[in-house]
C-alpha cells in the first residue's frame, strides 16, 4: 500500500512540475489557460482562480495531467511563443532535477570509500593486478570521490558511450599510484552483466568496496533464516570455519551448500552465536536462506558548497539526459536490450524502495524520473512535446504549418508508438516479476 502511495505522490509531483512549466510559459506569452489538471477523468477537487480565470483540478485517474489553453489564442501566437510554451514543460522537469540534485549534493551524503576489496581470482580486476586496499582515485580523466562516484563513471562509459574499456587510476599504501586498463567487454557475458547493467558490470569486473563485515540487512517473513533465529542487523562472521567479510562469499557458500546444513557464526554486537541453517532451493534451483546481506563498509561524508552543488546538479542532469538519449539510441541500433525499459510496476516498486530508504533517496528517485519524463517528452513523436516541436521546425523551414490531414495522421502514428512503448514497458515489468 505504501509503495502505491509513494508512486502516486511521485507522479503527482512530477506531473505538476511539467504542467506548471507549460502554464507559466503560456501566462508569460499572454495565452489564457482554462484548466490545469493533475490526473484525468472525473474531477475530485476543483478550485477556480478569479485572478487567472483558470480552473485547477485534481482528477480521479492520477497517471498524468494536462494544461488546457484557449486554442485560438494559442494558435494566433508567433511560432517562437508557441514553441517556448511547448518546450517549457520538459525544461521544468530538467530544472527540477538539477535543483533536486543540488539539494542532495549540498546536504551531504555518506558514501562508501573507493577502497577495493580483494578482487575474485581470475576476475578482470585481479588479472589487471588490482588488489585489496587499492583506493580508486580516477577513471579516465575524472577524479573519484567515492565508490558510488566510480560506479557512475562506469555507467557513463558502459551505457552512454558504449566504451570497450576504462582506465582506472589507483593509489596504494605508501603513496604509489598506478593506472590499469579494464576491458568492459570481458565482464559483459552471461547473467553477471545482463543488459549492460552498470552495477552488475562493476561486480563482474571484480570491483567491490572493502568490507569490514557482512551485515544482515533484512530477514524475510517465514524464511529459514527467520526460523534459525537470524535478525536484521546481525553480523555474519564465519561460514563453517571460513571467516567472511564480503557478502558475495556468504551468498556463494549458501548456494554451494545444496541444501545441506551449514553453520554460521553470528554476532548481534554483544555476543557470538552459532546458527545452523539449511538453505532451500527456489523455483530457479538456486539455494537461498531468505535473508538479504550486505557489506558493512567505511564511508566518507561528501558535501558541496551551495554554488558548487548547484553546478554539480546542472552537470549531473545534463549527463543523465545524455546518458538516457544515448541509451535510447543504442536500443534502436540493437546494441542495448529493450528489457531495460521500465513500466509503472517497476517505477512504483522503485518509488516505494527509495522512500523506505529515506527522504534523500526519494528525492534522488524523483530527479531521475523527472529527467526521464523530460527526455521522453522531447522525442520527435507526434502527441508528445517533441512531436509538436518537430511540426514547428517544419513550419519554420517551409514558412507554413503542416496540413491538418498530415497532423492527424501523425497523431495516429504517435498514439500507436506510445501504445507499443507502453506494451513493451508492461511486458518487461511482468517479466521481472515472473523472473523471466
- Catalytic residue numbers, as ranges: 19
Measured CA to CA, the distance from residue 35 to residue 24 in angstroms comes to 13
> Which stretches does DSSP call E strand in 208-336?
211-219, 235-239, 242-243, 262-267, 272-277, 280-281, 287-288, 291-297, 299-302
Residues in the chain: 436
Task: Tell me the sheet residues that pair with 273.
Answer: 266
Return the axis-axis angle of helices 2-28 and 359-377, rounded to nearest 10°. Answer: 50
Residue with cell 518537430: 390
Which residue do the cell numbers 497523431 mark? 411
Distances (CA, A) of 36 to 25, 52, 74: 13, 11, 15
Q: How far apart are CA 279 and CA 287, in angstroms?
A: 6
Burial 188-211 (b: 16+ CB within 10 A, else e): beeeebeebbbebbbbbbbbbbbb
Which residues are CB-contacts of 297 (< 8 A; sequence separation ≥ 6)? 112, 113, 147, 209, 210, 211, 212
Is residue 31 within 8 A of residue 74, CB to CB? The reply is yes
Q: Beta strand pairing status for 262-267 and 235-239?
A: antiparallel
What is the DSSP-derived secondary structure letter of residue 403? Answer: P
User: Which residues are paired to 45 by β-bridges?
Assistant: 58
Whose cell is 552488475? That residue is 200
Q: Are 353 and 363 in contact (CB under 8 A)?
A: no
**Cell 558511450, located at residue:** 161
Q: How far is it, in rounded angstroms, from Cα 219 to Cα 208?
A: 23
Neighbours of 257 (CB within 10 A): 17
- Beta carbons of 294 and 213 less than 8 angstroms apart: no
Radius of gyration of the chain (CA): 26
Amino acid at each position: 500500500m505504501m509503495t502505491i502511495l509513494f508512486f502516486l505522490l511521485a507522479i503527482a509531483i512530477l506531473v505538476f512540475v511539467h504542467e506548471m512549466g507549460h502554464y507559466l510559459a503560456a501566462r508569460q506569452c499572454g495565452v489564457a489557460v482554462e484548466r490545469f489538471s493533475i490526473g484525468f477523468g472525473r474531477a475530485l477537487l476543483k478550485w477556480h482562480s478569479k485572478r487567472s480565470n483558470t480552473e485547477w483540478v485534481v482528477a480521479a485517474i492520477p497517471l498524468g495531467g494536462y494544461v488546457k489553453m484557449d486554442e485560438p489564442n494559442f494558435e494566433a501566437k508567433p511560432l517562437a511563443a508557441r514553441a517556448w510554451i511547448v518546450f517549457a514543460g520538459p525544461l521544468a522537469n530538467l530544472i527540477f532535477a538539477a535543483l533536486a540534485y543540488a539539494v542532495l549534493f549540498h546536504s551531504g551524503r555518506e558514501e562508501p570509500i573507493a577502497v577495493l576489496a580483494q578482487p575474485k581470482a581470475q576476475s578482470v580486476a585481479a588479472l589487471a593486478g588490482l588488489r585489496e586496499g587499492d583506493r580508486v582515485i580516477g577513471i579516465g580523466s575524472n577524479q573519484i570521490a567515492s565508490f558510488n562516484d566510480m560506479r557512475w563513471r562506469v555507467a557513463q562509459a558502459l551505457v552512454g558511450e558504449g566504451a570497450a574499456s576504462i582506465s582506472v587510476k589507483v593509489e596504494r599504501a605508501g603513496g604509489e599510484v598506478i593506472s590499469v586498463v579494464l576491458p568492459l567487454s570481458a565482464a559483459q557475458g552471461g547473467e553477471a552483466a545482463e543488459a549492460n547493467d552498470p552495477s552488475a558490470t562493476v561486480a563482474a569486473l571484480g570491483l567491490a568496496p572493502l568490507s569490514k563485515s557482512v551485515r544482515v540487512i533484512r530477514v524475510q517473513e517465514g524464511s529459514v533464516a527467520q526460523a534459525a533465529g537470524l535478525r536484521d542487523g546481525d553480523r555474519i562472521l564465519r561460514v563453517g570455519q571460513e571467516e567472511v567479510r564480503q557478502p558475495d562469499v556468504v551468498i556463494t557458500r549458501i548456494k554451494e551448500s545444496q541444501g545441506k546444513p551449514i553453520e554460521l557464526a553470528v554476532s548481534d554486537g554483544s555476543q557470538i552465536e552459532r546458527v545452523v541453517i539449511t538453505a532451500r532451493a527456489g523455483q530457479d534451483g538456486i539455494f537461498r536462506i531468505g535473508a538479504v546481506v550486505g557489506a558493512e563498509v567505511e564511508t566518507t561524508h561528501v558535501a558541496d558548497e551551495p554554488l558548487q552543488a548547484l553546478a554539480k546538479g546542472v552537470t549531473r542532469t545534463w549527463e543523465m539526459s545524455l546518458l538516457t538519449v544515448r541509451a535510447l539510441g543504442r536500443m534502436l541500433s540493437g546494441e542495448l536490450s529493450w528489457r531495460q525499459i521500465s513500466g509503472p510496476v517497476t517505477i512504483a516498486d522503485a518509488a516505494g524502495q527509495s522512500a523506505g530508504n529515506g527522504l534523500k533517496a526519494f528525492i534522488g528517485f524523483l530527479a531521475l524520473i523527472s529527467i526521464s519524463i523530460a527526455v521522453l517528452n522531447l522525442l520527435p513523436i507526434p502527441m508528445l512535446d517533441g512531436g509538436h516541436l518537430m511540426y514547428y521546425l517544419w513550419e519554420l523551414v517551409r514558412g507554413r504549418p503542416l496540413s491538418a490531414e498530415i497532423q492527424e495522421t501523425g497523431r495516429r502514428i504517435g498514439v500507436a508508438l506510445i501504445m507499443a512503448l507502453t506494451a513493451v514497458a508492461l511486458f518487461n515489468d511482468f517479466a521481472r516479476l515472473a523472473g523471466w
